[in-house]
Amino acid sequence: MALREIREQGDPVLSKVSREVTEFNGRLHQLLDDMHDTVREANGAGLAAPQVGVLRRVVIAIGDDGQFVELINPVIKLQEGEQDGPEGCLSVPGVYGMVKRPDHVTVEAVDRYGKPFTVEGHGLSARAFCHETEHLDGHLFTERVTKILTDEELAAYYGGQDSE
């Protein structure tokens, strides 16, 4: 396993549409393993393959149980509720903004072996699933930001939240 370079805003790969995964082999498994290492090292809630320069429909995002979920060829099938909160991105370091997202989503995907499954996400997981799948279509969260937050506003937002 290895750390991969996280591409940053302005890199053309981040604005391209990713291709569907059709081969479930060692190369895919290596990509997923490297993405796990990379997102953990960066202390992120998720990572999409384009963020490490690979134009494939592959995502790792935090699940409701706090563990990372591998989503290959993900499709969001259901969106319910609404949350408005701060969001950041490993590809846009140091920038945080308010983004409206659904509070609950249902995602259909396949695992690293090509087996279909469905997963639900609530709160942070729903936000991460939506954020990461948008990367697969060449979009960054900054396109959805309603307000860029200062460091003070971000600290005040998190200082006023109940901790779990």
Q: Which entry of 132, 152, 153, 164 is annotated as an active-site residue?
A: 132
pLDDT in tens, 105-155: 999 999 999 999 999 999 999 999 999 999 999 999 999 999 999 999 999
- Residue 92's closest CA among 157, 130, 42, 58? 42
The whole model's pTM is what? 0.94
Confirm whether 7 is domain-assigned: no
User: Which CATH number fits the domain that encloses residue 71?
Assistant: 3.90.45.10
Domains identified in the chain, total number: 1
pLDDT of residue 158: 84
Confirm whether 1 is domain-assigned: no
pLDDT in tens, 4-20: 999 999 999 999 999 99
Q: Compute the residue count for the chain.
A: 164
Residue numbers of the domain that contains 99: 12-159
Confirm whether 133 is domain-assigned: yes
**pLDDT beyond 60 at 161:** no
Active-site residue 132, yes or no?
yes
pLDDT in tens, 52-75: 999 999 999 999 999 999 999 999
Query: What gap in Å lies between CA 22 and CA 15, rounded to an integer?
Result: 22
